[in-house]
Structure 1
Amino acid sequence: MARVDMADTENGGARDERSGSRFRSALDRLRGDRGIWRRGVLLAVCAVLLTLAMAFHAEIPNRIGNLGSLNETFLPWLGVLVPVLLLLALLRRSATALIALLLPAAVWVNLFGGLITDKSEAGGDLTVATHNVNADNPDPEGTARQIAESGADVVALEELKGEMVPVYEKGLAEAYKYHSVQGTVGLWSKYPLHGTDSVDIGMGWTRAMRSTVSAPGAEVAVYVAHLPSVRVKMNAGFTANQRDNSADLLGEAIAAESHERIVLLGDLNGTMNDRSLNAVTAQMRSTQGASGDGFGFSWPASFPMARIDQILVKGVEPMSSWTLPETRSDHLPIAARIKL
């Protein structure tokens, strides 16, 4: 009996000793692994640079290849880099990188967190829509039919090729009694139009117009614009000078508008974050930003990455804003409901 007790004691002591040894070994490894702070320094630097690119995007100069505007065009997508860096930090087991990633995450939420929630409200007096139909649209009849079925009261179309104008006029005639086409842009309305004219945005041909819509209970000045396209070139960077100049001229026209209620519909080839569109965006509100659900990206239609098609308002209250189903264009149509 004594031998059994002694054996139990000896085995228990051995187990305790092994357990204590493993615990001390793990503790020593934890204490000695100062590398979790030294590893991932490069990832931490990347996180800080990402934070600066988002928080101080307006300070990135446009002098070299319009780099600032290019960054602002796709600014929300910088947030995609946060989970990528997070995964790398976890693989590297870097505490330094993990802590540094809190910075860009917080900045992104501050900049764009409000766009994630649905801010739409019921009600409104007027539904407006805009669509760059694409000059090479292979199905203008179908596109016109989809636009008519949207139920919008006022519709703006951009990139209207001359020979396609009669197709759109025919396809929209039943839904919209009034319309006007100026150059490559047009406006269709269920309510009377007057004071219609082209707007000079310095392109040498007409890509902007203005008309007054006599909506029930109030008149609204409606502008339609298709600003010049931008390109990313290896030898020139983000070429947007012509667009920027046209935006300044459009902003001047809107600033001189005598009507209290103003709606701008069109393809601005730029986002609300792009400081080069400030002549327009500084004096108007985005319906998507004020009353939309999500980012409302409209281009390219196959995989929308930016909202370059805009509905901007002044003197009216945006109630809701959304994208419409894809047509055969490379842009998605967008719509908004406003309270006059």
Structure 2
Amino acid sequence: MKHIPKDIIKSCLKESAKFLAYSYSAFIICYFILKLIFWDRLWIVGLISTFIPLIFFPTFLIAIIGLLIIKKRWFTIISAIACIFLISWLHIKYFSPAPINITNSQPRLKILSHNVGWYATQSPTLFKLIHQQKPDIIFLQEIVRKHTERAFTWLKADYPYQIGTPPVGILSKYPIVSSEILHLAGHRETQQRAIIKFNEQEVVIYNMQATGPWFKKSRIGRFLKIPVYKYGKRAPEIQDLVERVERENLPVIVAGDFNMTDETQDYDRVQKVMQDSFRESGLGFGFTWPNGWELKLLVKRSNWRLNYPVCRIDYIWYSNHWGAKSSSVLEATESDHLPVGAELILLK
């Protein structure tokens, strides 16, 4: 076997680094142009946006490649500016919480929301989570009968007001005045609207489960089929929710699995009528999904478990009657969603 000279290896690595740097730079520029023009109307933009901010992190590597390998002044300056913008954006958006200042006399509600993943989350685990967190109101999605028969029963003493109608459920320490099952935009997904009595006034709560996006085969031409990222059913549901919230006169809390990230146009629609508790008072990226996914690998027919979520799709929202004291992502259960919690203060 012939020995490959070191200078050839070095040259190949250098050219590969240049190719990656230029390709990634072109990819990011194209993404921003397409998002500016189409936003969620183009499925490829919606797919890429799902993985932001992770997809921006290679920018730091590109700056190093530009400085040490490409060594072109214009590229080094541009990549350095990009790094400065990225750091500033990350700091402002994810690491600058602004929780409200409160007094002990102001009424507050502790909220917990969790998509339990159907049969994945065991009733003892759910009971333990709630017992540790001690929330005032609990929003649950993708529950099954075993949860209402076991966990709900075990929690009856602390949460006497319960609406367990699989696949959604609400548990409350405060009286539930009324409740109804919703199918936003007439779709199959199930949501809940209820009114509770808190601090001698009524509060509207929505338990949210939006239709999840996924890949479906789409025909290109006569013979070719490619996987396309489909999320069109979610937008009418979100619009229906927004219109309902706009008509509410009482304080509103909406929590649940929205199946959208904070880079989507649907998120922007919700943000116009409510505030995101984690954005206001949480610290970090707040990723909640997919936790514990098992990915099939070809190597040795083994599985690899994804224990680090890469998207934030579970939220606790509130109307301007409230302020957020704190918000956090909680300890994992057996579900592929992490639970989220927030403490809200009634301001008016």
The TM-score with structure 1 as length reference comes to: 0.79
Q: Is contact 1:224-1:266 (8 Å) kept?
A: yes
SS at structure 2 position matched to 1:130: strand
Within 5 Å, which residues of 2 pair with 1:197-216? 197-202=180-185, 204-205=187-188, 207-216=190-199
Q: Which residue of 2 aligns with 1:30?
A: none
- Partner amino acid, structure 1, of 2:332: E
- Partner amino acid, structure 2, of 1:150: Q
What is the Cα-based RMSD across aligned positions, in Å? 2.7
Q: 1:337 aligns with which of 327, 340, 343?
A: 343
Deviates more, 1:111-120 or 1:180-189: 111-120
Structure 2 unaligned runs (5+)? 1-16, 218-225, 292-306
Q: Is contact 2:40-2:265 (8 Å) kept?
A: no
Q: Which residue of 2 aligns with 1:272?
A: 262
Q: Which residue of 1 aligns with 2:299?
A: none
Q: 2:242 aligns with which of 241, 251, 275?
A: 251
Q: Is contact 2:63-2:83 (8 Å) kept?
A: no
1:303 pairs with 2:308: yes
Deviations 1:237-270 (A, max 9, x none): 21111122221222222222231x1111000000
Q: Is contact 1:126-1:339 (8 Å) kept?
A: yes
Q: Is contact 1:119-1:320 (8 Å) kept?
A: no
- Offset, 1:306: 1.1
- Offset, 1:98: 2.0
Within 5 Å, which residues of 2 pair with 1:166-315? 166-202=149-185, 204-205=187-188, 207-233=190-216, 235-259=226-250, 261-301=251-291, 302-315=307-320
Measure the CA separation in 1 of the matches of 2:33 and 2:332: 33
- Partner amino acid, structure 2, of 1:241: G
1:82 pairs with 2:43: no
Q: Is contact 2:110-2:344 (8 Å) kept?
A: yes
Measure the CA separation in 1 of the matches of 2:41 and 2:173: 45
- Offset, 1:139: 1.8
- Offset, 1:317: 0.8
CA pair 122-154 structure 1, distance change in 2 beyond 3 A: farther
Measure the CA separation in 2 of the matches of 1:224 and 1:283: 17
Measure the CA separation in 2 of the matches of 1:122 and 1:50: 39
Measure the CA separation in 1 of the matches of 2:125 and 2:115: 14
Deviations 1:142-178 (A, max 9, x none): 1232123211111100001234321231232232121
Q: 2:82 aligns with which of 98, 101, 104?
A: 104
- Partner amino acid, structure 1, of 2:65: L
Structure 1 unaligned runs (5+)? 1-38
The structure that is strand-richer by fraction is 2
The structure that is helix-richer by fraction is 1
- Offset, 1:104: 2.8
Q: Which residue of 2 aligns with 1:21?
A: none
Deviates more, 1:51-60 or 1:181-190: 51-60
Q: Is contact 2:117-2:335 (8 Å) kept?
A: yes
Q: Which residue of 1 aligns with 2:113?
A: 130
CA pair 174-197 structure 1, distance change in 2 beyond 3 A: same
SS at structure 2 position matched to 1:241: coil
CA pair 282-93 structure 1, distance change in 2 beyond 3 A: same
Q: Which residue of 2 aligns with 1:318?
A: 324
Alignment length (residue pairs) = 301
CA pair 77-42 structure 1, distance change in 2 beyond 3 A: closer
Q: Which residue of 2 aligns with 1:32?
A: none
CA pair 188-76 structure 1, distance change in 2 beyond 3 A: same
SS at structure 2 position matched to 1:300: coil
CA pair 167-204 structure 1, distance change in 2 beyond 3 A: farther
CA pair 291-337 structure 1, distance change in 2 beyond 3 A: same
SS at structure 2 position matched to 1:136: coil
Measure the CA separation in 1 of the matches of 2:80 and 2:157: 55
Q: Which residue of 2 aligns with 1:92?
A: 69
- Partner amino acid, structure 2, of 1:79: F
- Partner amino acid, structure 1, of 2:308: F
SS at structure 1 position matched to 2:184: coil
SS at structure 2 position matched to 1:53: helix
- Partner amino acid, structure 1, of 2:244: A
Larger radius of gyration: 1
Q: Which residue of 2 aligns with 1:116?
A: 95
